[in-house]
Amino acid sequence: MKSLIKIVLVLGLFIGFYSCQPDDSTTIVPARPYDEVYEEDILKIEEFLDTHYVTVDADFNTVFTKIPDGGAQVPVSDMPELEFKEVDLHDITYKVYYLKLREGIGESPTRVDSTLVAYKGNTIYKGTVDGVTVYDQSVFEENVNPIWFNLDGVIKGWAEIIPQFKVGTYSSNPDGTISFQDFGVGVVFIPSGLAYFNSIRPGIQAYSNLVFNFKLYNMRRMDHDRDGILSMYEYGPSFDQDPIDTDGDDRPDYLDVDDDADGVLTKTERSFTYLDGTVTKTAYYPYFGALVDDAATPYDDTRGIPSCSGDFTTPTRLRRHLDPACRN
Ligand SMILES: [Ca+2]
Ligand SMILES: [Ca+2]
Ligand SMILES: [Ca+2]
Ligand SMILES: [Ca+2]
């Protein structure tokens, strides 16, 4: 199904940009052990998935409703769109469930990229009214118009699941609005340990499991340290591990302008000079060389950042900006 959503993009959409940042809390209560809380959280989440069905409208907005006694609705836990990702943190393997309502057709962000997302966040508090179990799905935050988020600055549950989706396409309209099509849409069920845990925030009690319906409209590759190497390449071999820190100064490579601490900026180490006629000019090797040489440039574009020994192509080579042995 092809959905067309028209959205007015206005300046100032950065309002609320940090609203999902975990260090933005107002109050905290004494921390309980993560494993003890997680045991309770995952029970509540799985019970919710077992006892509710979802309706999805034409714009992929979702409503979760408790299945009435004898109801024939399909519980979320039985939907083929339900997937989960295991996330290791706090010496726990968290299970993060998400509904992949539509994957999207474009690129996927990594957890060090920036994303343009519209979302609705609600809690799922379980309680009892007149002896009947109820689930309060209070909405604590909603952005119908998308806003940009750096995935390295949001709660862990987001950073892990948003990259499981892809962006779509977009086009400009004559009236200045932008239409997005075929973007990724999902719902994620985040245990409190991967959200705000013992922090109390507006509309969110301590130890709240959070549910987000999100639409991944667009993304931007980031280069945090502006050394010309995308953060996704500097992060390390796996986003399921901590980022690499070549020189061990507690600043990961993707935030470090001199990754090997040899006193020469990474940006300088990926530069080279070439002759343009009689004029010496400077250019920069990309992390990976181009597949095809561009005949318009006076150098070989298939070369990426070389190793000390002049290997320009082996994908696993130790690139020279990470090898202080190159300098002397
Ligand atoms: Ca960089
Ligand atoms: Ca470092
Ligand atoms: Ca760097
Ligand atoms: Ca260096």
- Residue 319 per-residue DSSP state: B
Q: How far is the CA of 252 from the centre of ligand 2 (A)?
A: 5
Nearest ligand to the C-alpha atom of residue 257: 3
Alpha helices in 223-296 (DSSP H): 231-234, 266-269
Dump pLDDT digits (tens) for 148-190.
999 999 999 999 999 999 999 999 999 999 999 999 999 999 9
Distance CA(317)–CA(266), nearest Å, equals: 16
Distance CA(229)–CA(226), nearest Å, equals: 7
Dump pLDDT digits (tens) for 103-128.
999 999 999 999 999 999 999 988 88
Q: How far is CA 87 from the centre of its chain?
A: 14
Distance CA(201)–CA(194), nearest Å, equals: 15
pLDDT band at 326 (very low <50, low <70, confident <90, very high): confident
pLDDT band at 231 (very low <50, low <70, confident <90, very high): very high
pLDDT band at 328 (very low <50, low <70, confident <90, very high): low
Q: How far is the CA of 6 from the centre of ligand 2 (A)?
A: 43
pLDDT band at 15 (very low <50, low <70, confident <90, very high): very low
The answer, yes or no, to whether residue 143 has pLDDT greater than 50, is yes
Dump pLDDT digits (tens) for 259-298.
999 999 999 999 999 998 899 999 999 999 999 999 999 9
Q: What's the predicted TM-score (pTM) here?
A: 0.87
Q: Are 82 and 99 in contact (CB under 8 A)?
A: yes
Q: How far is the CA of 318 from the centre of ligand 2 (A)?
A: 16
pLDDT at residue 17, as a whole number? 34
Q: What residues have a C-beta under 5 A from ligand 4, the ion?
A: 258, 260, 262, 264
Q: How far is the CA of 232 from the centre of ligand 1 (A)?
A: 8
Residue ranges, comma separated, of all CATH 3.10.50.40 domains in the chain are 4-220
Return the CATH number of the domain spanning residue range 4-220.
Answer: 3.10.50.40
Dump pLDDT digits (tens) for 302-313.
999 999 999 999
The answer, yes or no, to whether residue 10 has pLDDT greater than 60, is no
The answer, yes or no, to whether residue 5 has pLDDT greater than 60, is no
